[in-house]
Amino acid sequence: MIPVRGYEGQNVAVLGLGRSGLATARALEAGGANALCWDDSPEARTRAEGEGLGLHDLSRRDAFDNLATLIASPGIPHLYPAPNRHIARAMAAGVPVDNDIGLFFRSFATPEWDNMETPPKVVAITGSNGKSTTSALIHHILTEAGRPAQLGGNIGRGVLDLDPGSDGGVVVLELSSYQTELARALTPDIAVFTNLSPDHLDRHGGVGGYFAAKRRLFAEGGPDRAIIGVDEPEGVFLAGQMAEGPGDDRVIRVSVDHKLTGPGWQVFARKGYLSEYRKGRQVASIDLRDMSGLPGSHNHQNACAAFAATRALGLGPRQIEAALASFKGLPHRSQLVGEANGVRFVNDSKATNTDSAAAALTAFARVRWIAGGLGKEGGIAALAPHLGHVAKAYLIGHSAREFALALGDTPHEICDTMAIAVARAADEAEPGDTVLLAPAAASFDQYPDFEARGEDFTALVKARLAD
């Protein structure tokens, strides 16, 4: 646990009592604050009381008297599409609003660091797609190299549930736009921006607000090193803002679209080969083509970002290459579930938008594509240029018929359920095919989350392979 510093003897309200909210309340109490907990869900309040935490009804007239701050869980909106009523009252009363990420950055460093040979480092990763894999990959590389490392934030453990920093240790944090937008302190040693594609636009008031939330990770505290994907205009803009000049190697530019040139520090992948250039000269190269845990250009982008981050932490190219080769991937993200008779079954349930689905579709030569669910704004029209590898689509869920209309001449079948889709795709698959779950849609029509959807696909595939 990271005890929260700076609120000793003060009242701090905690709004939202899920995983991060409960961890925040415990960390506040450990740091000497008086945590006053609230959630509009009676079940969540009962759970908090069962852990010995005190409740504080934020709907009371005097609820915001004598509060030092309000700590809100990431999923609770504070501005768009409309502020949560409790957060709106806090802001009207002049009570500062923060989140657990802000508390972490103000509390992680302690006086004990003065006695360490190598003070701990924090690497924070944000972006639209690939941030979970990039975060896990950085953690994997560090662990394989013998460096003490912890993984947290939007993946792994909650930030305030992590252990205090150790000599030479590294904390790797995946941070969503919900987390970066509200945090009052953001001071990583290394910040990583993977890419940007439209998502969560209602929460951020449009794509500009979404990018602004991501940009805060770089603008608020100024990391010692910024690793920035430059395959979108926003990344190019951000890299330009962070660098003092073309040769400023505090900024490492990353690409999978084109070769990067110039006097600075670049890492890019082309045709399956990762290259590192510094001062206009190649200093390292890695063949990614046969690394089963990193299929496709989207995973090559993740590998480039992880390579850059771990190089910035002092690891050598050969150390990193060995760790990349042993990475098995994350569940629900280009996860190889099984293979039989020359047919592969891949679970990419995390591909909930068109950009991530496009990356998955182009990673395999011939695809039996399972798609659908609760479609997002724009449907799958943006996938039209990426359907060349699709032998047939098998459509499920609420948006199956809408998706069918957008597929044009691409063979497709409306299956409605995952069980029917898996059975039909497996029956029709030929050697060399990949049966790919890449929904390009949210899961909430049929499943509580993308993990449950991926687990259903995995269970169905394994049952069939066992027959």
Q: Is the domain of 270 the same as that of 396?
A: no
- Tell me which amino acid residue 209 is: G
Q: Is the domain of 348 the same as that of 418?
A: yes
Last residue of a domain, one of 98, 113, 130: 98
Q: Is the domain of 187 the same as that of 282?
A: yes
What is the distance between the alpha carbons of residues 183 and 202, in angstroms, rounded to a whole number? 19
Give a yes or no: residue 199 inside a domain: yes
Give a yes or no: residue 6 inside a domain: no
Whether pLDDT at 287 is above 90: yes
Q: Is the domain of 41 the same as that of 140?
A: no
Give a yes or no: residue 139 inside a domain: yes
With pLDDT > 90 as the criterion, what percentage of the chain qualifies? 90
Give a yes or no: residue 438 inside a domain: yes
Q: What is the pLDDT of residue 330?
A: 84
Q: Is the domain of 358 the same as that of 413?
A: yes
Is 127 annotated as belonging to a binding site?
A: yes
* Pairing relationship of beta strands 225-229 and 149-153 according to DSSP bridges: unpaired
Give a yes or no: residue 3 inside a domain: no
Is 133 annotated as belonging to a binding site?
A: yes
Which residue range forms the structural domain that includes residue 402?
335-466
Q: Is the domain of 360 the same as that of 290?
A: no
Q: What is the pLDDT of residue 194?
A: 97
Beta-strand runs (E) in 211-357: 225-229, 251-255, 265-270, 273-278, 281-287, 335-340, 343-347
Is 128 annotated as belonging to a binding site?
A: yes
CATH number at residue 268: 3.40.1190.10
List the strands of the sheet with 190-193, edge to edge. 149-153, 170-174, 121-126, 190-193, 225-229, 251-255, 265-270, 273-278, 281-287
Is 285 annotated as belonging to a binding site?
A: no
Of 11-15, 195-199, 334-338, give the lowest mean pLDDT range.
Answer: 195-199
Q: Is the domain of 414 the same as that of 362?
A: yes
Q: Is the domain of 89 the same as that of 117?
A: no
Whether pLDDT at 326 is above 80: yes
Whether pLDDT at 92 is above 80: yes
Q: What is the rounded average pLDDT of the residues 391-410?
A: 97
The count of structural domains within the chain is 3
Q: What is the rounded average pLDDT of the residues 19-42?
A: 96
Whether pLDDT at 342 is above 80: yes
Last residue of a domain, one of 71, 98, 125: 98
Q: What is the rounded average pLDDT of the residues 19-33?
A: 95
Q: What is the pLDDT of residue 199?
A: 76
Residue 450, class by beta-carbon neighbours within 10 Å (0-12 exposed, 13-18 middle, 19+ buried)? buried
Q: What is the pLDDT of residue 200?
A: 79
Q: Is the domain of 166 the same as that of 307?
A: yes
Q: Is the domain of 108 the same as that of 73?
A: no
8 Å CB contact between 424 and 395: no
Q: Is the domain of 276 the same as that of 250?
A: yes
What is the distance between the alpha carbons of residues 124 and 241, in angstroms, rounded to a whole number? 18
Q: What is the rounded average pLDDT of the residues 104-127?
A: 96
The pLDDT mean for the chain works out to 95
Is 130 annotated as belonging to a binding site?
A: yes
* DSSP states of 143-209: HHTT--EEEEESSSB-GGGSPPP-TT-EEEEE--HHHHHH-S----SEEEE------SHHHHTSHHH
Give a yes or no: residue 342 inside a domain: yes
Give a yes or no: residue 1 inside a domain: no
Last residue of a domain, one of 76, 98, 120: 98
Q: What is the pLDDT of residue 115?
A: 94
Is 129 annotated as belonging to a binding site?
A: yes
Is 247 annotated as belonging to a binding site?
A: no
What is the distance between the alpha carbons of residues 247 and 285, in angstroms, rounded to a whole number? 21
CATH number at residue 81: 3.40.50.720
141-177 residue pLDDT tens:
999 999 999 999 988 889 999 999 999 999 999 999 9
pTM of the predicted structure, to 2 decimals = 0.87
What is the distance between the alpha carbons of residues 254 and 192, in angstroms, rounded to a whole number? 10
Q: Is the domain of 183 the same as that of 229?
A: yes
Give a yes or no: residue 237 inside a domain: yes
Q: What is the pLDDT of residue 293?
A: 87
348-398 residue pLDDT tens:
999 998 988 998 999 899 999 999 999 988 899 999 999 999 999 999 999
Query: Which band of pLDDT confidence, cut at 50, 70 and 90, is reported for residue 122?
Result: very high
